[in-house]
Amino acid sequence: MIFLRYSRVRRFAWLAGLMMLGATPLLAAPALYDFTLSSIEGNPTPLSTYKGKVILLVNVASRCGFTPQYAALESLYEKYKDQGFVILGFPANNFASQEPGTNAEIKTFCSTKYNVTFPMFSKVSVKGEDTTPLYQFLTRKANPAVAGEIKWNFTKFLVDRSGSVVARFEPPITPDSPQVVATIERLLKQ
């Protein structure tokens, strides 16, 4: 009789434990809003800060043939920011050492050369063994349709208001291309 009660209690505890594990966020797949990265000034910035916005995430570099895209990015940001759109820039030195500067140097370059006002983050790695968790998520887990290794600077990921990664644009596709603008405008209306 004592053994029977112990078994029932033990089974109940085991089932309760399983139910709790199923509800534990630690076991759930990561979502975009789960990440916190340092701003270019070094302040921890949770991506949940941008919840409810349409987000364009871009890995950027100051000495790249695509660097002039900063101007189009800033123009796009200025045009749509009041409608719930934000661009997040992530400097990365993964390709031909085209982002060798410090965070302070990158910030100065962006603000003086391209008048960048959209949020910039501290330098990250977007490829290789030291890939930052955000870019591991974007390239492997966020959406199979946009998965794949980052091939170069200025790869763009577009995120809808619910935090789902819905599109990826490779570096040659400029931020002001009809394809990118149409997708942003469609997401802003949702």
Supply the DSSP string of 100-147, one letter for each residue: -S-HHHHHHHHHHHH---S-BB--B--SSTT--HHHHIIIIIS-GGG-
Distances (CA, A) of 114 to 67, 93, 109: 10, 19, 8
55, 56, 64, 92: which is the annotated catalytic residue? 64
Please give the sequence-ordered ranges of beta strands (E in DSSP) within the chain, or none if there are none: 36-38, 44-46, 54-60, 85-91, 156-159, 165-169
Q: For residues 80 and 65, what is the distance between their CA atoms, to the nearest angstrom?
A: 26
The alpha carbon of residue 83 and the mean position of all alpha carbons in its chain are separated, in whole angstroms, by 20
* Catalytic site includes residue 64: yes
Query: CB under 8 Å to 177, separation ≥6 — which residues?
Result: 169
Q: Are strands 36-38 and 54-60 parallel, antiparallel or unpaired?
A: unpaired
Catalytic machinery residues: 64
